[in-house]
Structure formats: structure tokens, C-alpha cells
Amino acid sequence: MATLTAAKPLDRFSYVTFDVVGTLIDFEGAITGALQKIAADAGTTVDGEAALAVYRNARYQPDALRYPDDMGRCYGQIAVATGLPDTPENRQFMIDAVGKAQPFPDSVAAMARLKARYKLIAMTNARRWAFEKYQEKLGHPFWASFTTDDTGTEKPDPAFFQQVFDFMGRDGGSKHDILHTAQSQYHDIGISRKLGMTNAWIQRRHAQKGYGGTIEPAEFTEPDYHFHSLMELAEAADKTFDK
């Protein structure tokens, strides 16, 4: 499934910026898989979607830390809600689990195809230590990368994006040369629209209800490009360039 509503064709962009966690890396699968392991060890079960809702709400809170370090604090709230044992060991296990989260099945191949067409830039709310693990699993596709350790802030703060714009300016580019690609309406699609960027929404949860572990936006933003997978974007780009 692909919806192409943007006036600007895909072969007119020089850069593709990416949200990483949730777009390229399956952090929800890492969370629910780790919780199932803790539950099995405790002789019980856990509802993964219900746990993701607790995680999502915990990430709204003002005392939230940087990802994935915040997973320990979030697990404490999940444990209260689900009856799982809240121990220091389980909190660290959750931090380690999301730090080791795997790419979605199409991510590596799609990124390799996109790398042949564009300069790829990571814009992630993950800390640098976690991003480096993700980058290795993705096959090192990025031309440049920005983490919360680099920017000192998190998306959707416009200051995060401005640092990327400034960097690209030194390369001779501008925000109008970017296709911003992400699954998060809250962190990426809404703010990229407000900043005048062209965006591509990768709707990873198209077959599921709700926002899972991602913070719910105050309002939905209609994207310029809408895909159900990253490979759909790569295929659409190939078709546009090969015309």
C-alpha cells in the first residue's frame, strides 16, 4: 500500500532523514518480548498491547529520561500495572533488551536501496550508545547521524531539526532537499509539516489499532507520502528514478 500525495517527486530529494526507533528498529517487539521473558520466569503472562499503553503513558511524564535508559523507570510502572516483579535486575534487563532491539524485516534491504539514491541521515531520540548498536544491525547505511546526546534535546523539539538543517547547510543543502521519513506522528510527522519539510509516514502499525508504544499526537497530520513499510518507499523511489 502506498499513497503519494506530495507534489515533489522522490527523485528531487538529495537527503532522506530517518527516525530510527519504531521506523527502522522494532522497539515494540523488543519491549513485549522482554516482558514475556520476565513473565515466563515469574510463572505468569502479560498482555503486550496493554503493557505498551502503560509505556506510552510513562513516556509522557515530566520525569522521563533519555531512551533507552528510561526503560528501567517505565518498567517500574509496567510492573505495577501488570503484576510483574519489579526488581533492579528486571529494570536493567529491559534497558538492555531495547538497546538490543532488532531491525524490522525490510529495514536492512530497504536502507541499502535508498543509500544508492540519497544521503541518509539518522535523527533519533535514542542515546548514542544505543544508536551505534542499531546502526551496526542496519548495515551502517547513514551518511550522518544525530542523537539526543549530540543535540541535547528530543524530537519534536524544532531545535533538534534546526541542528540538522545547519549541518546540511554546510553541505550545500536545505530542508527543502529533505524527505523526512518516520512512523511517529507525534515526534516527526506533525513537526516536520510545521517546519515546511516534505515527509513520508511509514505506518508500521497499519494492521494494529492504536499507537502502541509511541506517544499519541494531539492531532493527526496527513503525510505527503504514506507507506506501510520501508520497502514500499524504496520501491517507489526506484520507480521514480528509473523513469
* Beta strand ranges found along 93-242 (DSSP E): 119-123, 144-146, 178-182, 198-202, 225-227
Q: Which residues contact 132 (CB under 8 A, 6 or more apart)?
A: none
Active site residue 19: yes
3-class SS at 58?
helix
Q: Which of 11, 19, 26, 150 is catalytic?
A: 19
Q: How many CA atoms lie within 13 A of 5 on its CB side?
A: 12
Q: Is 15 in contact with 177 (CB distance < 8 Å)? A: yes
3-state secondary structure of 208: coil
Q: How far apart are CA 190 and CA 193, in angstroms?
A: 5
Q: What are phi and psi of 26, to 5 degrees?
A: -85, 80
Question: What is the C-alpha separation between 139 and 176, in angstroms, rounded?
Answer: 27
Residues 6 or more apart whose Cβ sits within 8 Å of residue 80? 86
Q: With DSSP H G I counted as helix, E B as strand and the rest as coil, what are the percentages for the chain, rounded to 5?
A: 50, 15, 40
Which of left, alpha, beta for 222 (phi over 0: left; psi -120 to 50: alpha)? beta
Residues labelled as active-site residues: 19
